[in-house]
Amino acid sequence: MDRTFVIVKPDGVERRLIGEIVARLERKQLSVVAAELRTIDRATAEQHYGEHAGKPFFNDLVAFITRSPALLLVIEGPGETFKVVRNLMGATNPKDSAPGTIRGDLAIEMGENLIHGSDSPEAAAREIALFFPNLA
Ligand code: DAT
Ligand code: MG
């Protein structure tokens, strides 16, 4: 089995969309293998989004992801799980995300796009290790 890392971001928790978002992953036959509701600390957020350090939106991004609890998830599927999740998420900017996707159906602003999913197997391994260091 193959794992990826997902965050239901603070806007998703605040809007009471945890069930909706997790249901979409489960309906696809993906499994939740670890879950924690946690307010992400600033240092972890800066490490997680390190690829965006220095970009004009970086400070707003870190402030957003740390503002209230987020649901951290390790998701398992039969293969290419990161890609399956990315397809369910939809494009980064919800104004471009296709209907039928999580962002396409439920979000409208780039800064409040509900869900994070690792963008490669390497990112999945790195992010799972960052957020769930005790997971086998
Ligand atoms: P994704 O979340 O689809 O992997 P990303 O890794 O490129 O997208 O960016 C991380 C988050 O940063 C994204 O979900 C929303 C925000 N973001 C990305 N590009 C942005 C931009 N040009 N302006 C404002 N926020 C942006
Ligand atoms: Mg990304």
- For residue 113 and ligand 1, the question of a CB distance below 6 A is answered with yes
CB 108 within 8 A of CB 95: yes
Residues of the chain short of pLDDT 50, as ranges, are: none
**Burial 89-108, CB ≥16 within 10 A → b, else e:** bbeeebeebeeebbbbebbe
pLDDT of residue 131: 98
Q: Which residues are catalytic?
A: 116
CB 30 within 8 A of CB 11: no
In the reported structure, the alpha carbon of residue 132 is separated from the centroid of ligand 1 by a whole-number distance in angstroms of 23
- For residue 92 and ligand 1, the question of a CB distance below 6 A is answered with yes
The tokens of 133 are what? 């260091």
- For residue 116 and ligand 1, the question of a CB distance below 6 A is answered with yes
Residues in CB range of 131: below 8 A, 6 or more apart:
5, 36, 44, 48, 72
pLDDT of residue 83: 98
pLDDT of residue 136: 72
SS3 17: coil
